[in-house]
């Protein structure tokens, strides 16, 4: 059986730890390959390669660094079908959805093509008597990214593109559940002209993560995953003197006002709730209709659409969604549906027990819909990360607003309304990081920054946009005065501009 190794120093490297994990085809439940799990020594080998290559890359002028990304974007477009199919085969999502995954990463690569401008510092002439002052942005050195299974193309590129454009070397530890695409991206970066050693991909589990968190030469770490692990990564990174940005779980609400275009809202809920089988950190998993009439009409329109979802393997180009990633995920999602029934929520559409002919051992979960969910239920509080939508009925706008405000997660939220005043008030008051107004999945474009609030995010700088340039660089400020401006004699008081 094919074993997926690592990509270190610009070439494929077989694993040497003796430990591996299975990579499944989620549609069939079959093992399709194995992936090597790195040891501390293998992580260190990647760091040594990065350490040797980084100074020369940092000294490469920004325009030349940008040209690598211009070429990389061209290669991504050329290989789009190949990349999407590779992603779908391991993840299970539809090929068109996988193309969206790659494209949203590509857009960040397009953004960092502007690194000559993005990385500029500031200059003040005559800041003091014969004194000039200026700041420059310099790379942190070696960065690392720890990425989840649900976006194996997009999130790695969100991390390594700005880090590398800023002059850093990078260690990527992708999810061991779908590891092939990140290695292919590294191959294409080399083809685009990136020097060997600047982007290294090392597969692994917690042992690899801990090695990254404690390695003395890694200066900054970006993480996306669950909130408990995000807390662990952030705390451990800080304890080891590293800067970190860590993004955790979510429970994203959509408020549907009585004046909303209900057909638009229902279509938005279908795509945002059931696309990619709900395995998105920005998926809408809670619908909050305002008023009983709105709720009744919403549910009436949702039920037939959910029941008619086309579920199939990635090879079915007409499928709306595919399987979930693993058997564990399948069992956890079904268990939470069971729990919702036990708690007294009304299960209007039951996705448990869904079987697809010819794929009976696949990890398929049908679309599920709960109504009359309340804020004290586990299915409301937990991030289900599956094709399950909960309807929480709100009496009025203030009650609807209170739900996302009080939830521990603060990743994304949306409101559907024709009322500009309501939309403006909602956007101003709600304590959530990313807000959609008649937009169900408000993931910002590449030149703005992505990040949640509360237990969804740890660290003060977000992903992509200008925040990413700040995160992957350090500011150095220089105060300069030349001999003609220096007075004779020593000065013993604190310098001021008085």
What is the tens place of the pLDDT at every residue in 27-55? Answer: 999 999 999 999 999 999 999 999 999 99
Number of helices and strands in the chain (H, E): 16, 23
483 or 99, which is more confident? Answer: 99
Residue among 224, 284, 281, 216 nearest 255 (CA)? 284
Positive or negative, the CA dihedral 88, 93, 99, 105 is: negative
Of 126-135, 317-326, 359-368, the range with the lowest mean pLDDT is: 126-135
State the Rg of the chain over Cα: 25
Q: Which CATH class is domain 252-437?
A: alpha beta
Hey, what are 137's tokens? 């942005």
Residues of the chain with CATH 3.40.605.10: 3-248+456-478
Quote the pLDDT of residue 497: 66
Sequence length of the chain is 498
8 Å CB contact between 264 and 435: no
Residues of the chain with CATH 3.40.309.10: 252-437
Quote the pLDDT of residue 485: 67
Any catalytic annotation for residue 281? Answer: yes
For tokens 């696309």, the residue is 275
Interatomic CA distance for residues 434 and 87, integer angstroms: 27
Percent of the chain with pLDDT over 70: 99
Which residues lie below 8 Å from residue 437, measured CB to CB, with a gap of 6+? 414, 415, 417, 423, 426, 427
- CA–chain centroid gap for 123, Å, is 35
In the set 109, 113, 246, 281, the catalytic residue is: 281
Residue among 254, 298, 252, 257 nearest 421 (CA)? 257
Interatomic CA distance for residues 400 and 234, integer angstroms: 32
Report which DSSP code applies to 83: H
Q: For all residues of the chain together, what is the average pLDDT?
A: 97
Q: What is the DSSP string of 205-220?
A: SHHHHHHHHH-TT--E
Backbone angles phi, psi at 409, to 5 degrees: -90, 155
Fold entry, domain 3-248+456-478: Aldehyde Dehydrogenase; Chain A, domain 1 (3.40.605)
pTM (predicted TM-score): 0.96
8 Å CB contact between 146 and 121: no
Please give the average per-residue pLDDT across 155-182, as a whole number. Answer: 98
Percent of the chain with pLDDT over 90: 96
SS3 state at 165: helix
């Amino acid at each position: 059986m094919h074993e997926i190794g690592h990509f270190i120093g610009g070439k494929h490297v077989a694993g040497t730890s003796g430990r591996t994990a299975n990579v499944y085809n989620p549609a069939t439940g079959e093992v399709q390959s194995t992936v090597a799990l790195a040891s501390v020594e293998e992580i260190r080998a990647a760091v040594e390669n990065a350490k040797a290559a980084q100074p020369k890359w940092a000294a490469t002028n920004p325009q030349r660094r940008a040209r690598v990304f211009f070429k990389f974007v061209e290669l991504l477009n050329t290989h789009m079908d190949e990349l999407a199919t590779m992603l779908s085969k391991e993840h299970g999502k539809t090929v068109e959805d996988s193309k969206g995954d790659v494209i949203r990463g590509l857009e960040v690569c397009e953004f960092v093509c502007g690194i000559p401008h993005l990385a500029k510092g500031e200059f003040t002439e005559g800041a003091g008597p014969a004194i000039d002052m200026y700041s420059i942005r310099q790379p942190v050195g070696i960065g690392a990214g720890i990425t989840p299974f649900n976006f194996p193309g997009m999130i790695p590129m969100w991390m390594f593109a700005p880090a590398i454009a800023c002059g850093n070397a990078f260690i990527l530890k992708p999810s061991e559940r779908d590891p092939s695409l990140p290695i292919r991206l590294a191959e294409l970066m080399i083809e685009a002209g990136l020097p060997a050693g600047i982007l290294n991909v090392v597969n692994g589990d917690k042992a690899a993560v801990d090695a990254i968190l404690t390695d003395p030469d890694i200066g900054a770490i970006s993480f996306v995953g669950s909130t408990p692990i995000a807390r662990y990564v952030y705390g451990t990174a800080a304890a080891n003197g590293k800067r970190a940005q860590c993004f955790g779980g979510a429970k994203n609400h959509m408020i549907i006002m009585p004046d909303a275009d209900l057909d638009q809202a229902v279509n938005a809920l279908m795509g945002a709730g059931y696309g990619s089988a709900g395995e998105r950190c920005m998926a809408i998993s809670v619908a909050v209709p305002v008023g009983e009439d709105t709720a009744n009409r919403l549910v009436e329109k949702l039920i037939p659409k959910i029941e008619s979802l086309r579920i199939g393997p990635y090879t079915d180009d007409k499928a709306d969604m595919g399987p979930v990633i693993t058997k564990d995920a399948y069992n956890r999602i079904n268990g939470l549906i069971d729990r919702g029934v036990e708690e007294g929520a009304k299960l209007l559409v039951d996705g448990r027990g869904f079987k697809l002919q010819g794929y009976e051992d696949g990890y398929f979960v049908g679309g599920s819909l709960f109504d009359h969910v309340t804020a004290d239920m586990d299915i409301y509080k937990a991030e289900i990360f599956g094709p399950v939508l909960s309807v929480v009925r709100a009496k009025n706008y203030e009650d609807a607003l209170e739900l996302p405000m009080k939830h521990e997660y603060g990743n994304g939220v949306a409101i559907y309304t024709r009322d500009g005043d309501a939309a403006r008030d909602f956007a101003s008051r709600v304590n959530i990081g990313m807000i959609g107004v008649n937009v169900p999945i408000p993931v910002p474009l590449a030149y703005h920054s992505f990040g949640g609030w509360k237990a969804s995010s740890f660290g003060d700088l977000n992903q992509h946009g200008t925040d990413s340039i700040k995160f992957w660089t350090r500011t150095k400020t220089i105060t300069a005065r030349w001999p003609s401006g220096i007075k004779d004699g020593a000065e013993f008081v604190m310098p001021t501009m008085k």
